Chain A
């Protein structure tokens, strides 16, 4: 587990978790152009691999409904359990009860997503 103070001292690194490749690509690309360092994961399992290997992820942006045996809600629970310093932004068309920092309602604009992230990291 990564201590909160270690994460707080680093530049913000985002992890975009999305199984639809073109959405992942356009979201990541937009956020890079906004000045963030962006890592990409195509599944919840890949996201956990990244989080377990890298200490520098500040915010995870994840879809809720993804293909695979392990999806968004389980990823959120696992992040809360193992990486409590990492902030979570999720996009959903429905109300969710999981404890995340921000839920943006679908459909949303990338500008809105960027604005939410910036407010979370105090930028």
Chain B
């Protein structure tokens, strides 16, 4: 059986040992020529249909070695016996060590008709379509086009030598022919078993198969020695068993449709023709042994699942795992259908659905040209980099986390003046005769009494009264408002407003200005001095807003405060942003102006107890749980969420979001909050900051166990529930 090729074309390396191959050998044929098996046994088809020749090839796992030509130096590593190949391990602490992914090209094309399979039925289908004047694309695995899957559209994903090819077609014809049926009986996982077609290929390649036994539907089982077949046991019409010794068993159990691709899509426009669409006689129902070689599912597994009630083929597949492996039922489906038919004494069930991929592809191939979410840049991005910012991604934007010293940035806000890039805030303009009515219905606070030039903080609730977002309502005129939202919630808020306005049929125009306007938050006790130098003589009072030119840049100046200090947000056109930022930095140099990043901002807001929706909140957070009932005016007759809030107002609630403080350094955000009595987890920290001013650890977080304790344990230390704001509770500094 061990057989060196008559003419050696080169050597491949299998599990670290060189193996010679002949010209024209696939990897699998070269390995079989050596008297070995490419995987760990099972019947080989050498046609790409089964999963019994899968191995790692040149570092890529799950490669069908029968479909890969042997080349000198190709490295083949068998998958672990009874296990799966290891995924590459990446040290999460240093993702820069992650291997650089392959760059896989993706081409896209369109066709009236895409025909998969270049055999006689495929050629006929293609010719018929061409004769009808239709544009035809023929995809044939023998020419290197491996179809990975059919997707809605319909569309086809194919792998070829050029990378990945995505095909959009009006019509897809699956003409993939038929497959040889694999054996499913005791011993069918031994090495040395091949289909009749595989035997022909091996003989044509000059491979010595030793003593060969051909067997058909009379097959009962295989017997083996040291993992290889040593005999075939057949059963005659009179039930007598015959054992025939062999070195290779050649199995001919008939054929089944090669319909994996057709089973991936039942959509209009996808059809199968030729043998791929023809019903074939099923094999005898398996009585013992492995049915699904990919997943190792045995007849016993099918029986166990059936006895639990999984008697529908699709459910039996999921419960037994038969058909979930790399060949997607190519090997086991005829047997499972036959087994069910015998069990029910009825007709065999229709074949189960197949899922991509019909050919195993690498993660790089799957991800080729798939773009992750694009993160946006503010017009000040380069300014931040110049100032040494460490940038990070928040709410779909690149934002400065700090500029090297978050504590210094904090002090600049508390004692001097500082600038922060808040261009990322959501910004909508709404206008129209029904705008007040729309906003009264949308927001839980009063809107009609906001005077032009004034503003109000507002929560945005859903129908369940859960907090979706927050921001400011600024009245520009009788029928026009500017609305702001969180950076991460802006897109959802816009959709929410548009949807409700359209549902109600109100006459309100909506314009999203989020990416059209930049915004700089200028904050600190010296802010008015700085802004006066740049032209803002009459600053608006707290919660007021005006239009003014600052350093020659037209700005919508909003007086509000997230930091707890006097603050102005300067909303302005993108093209004036760099000039405005530089003017603020230049004019404030003697005032000690410096930029602040998100790290300092989060600490500043934490000292004020301000919520960050999405960071502190959960999907079912209500205003009451946040301690923000003051932002909801239940005396309003109607607003989104009102009915839910009214129904739940008198119920006990076992959750609240509160402040905590303790000595020492702040714990990690997300830390569990434990009971001091028994150590049970009773909540979690959502925000944490070591206050440079108050010289203690301040935290915001959830208590989830009523009655609420006044003392808890965080990070192994005792913390006390502390009223918020921790800093300037009267708000004098923000209003100064």
Q: Do A and B come from one complex?
A: no
Q: Give residues in B with beta carbon < 8 Å to A.
A: none
Q: Give residues in A with beta carbon < 8 Å to B.
A: none
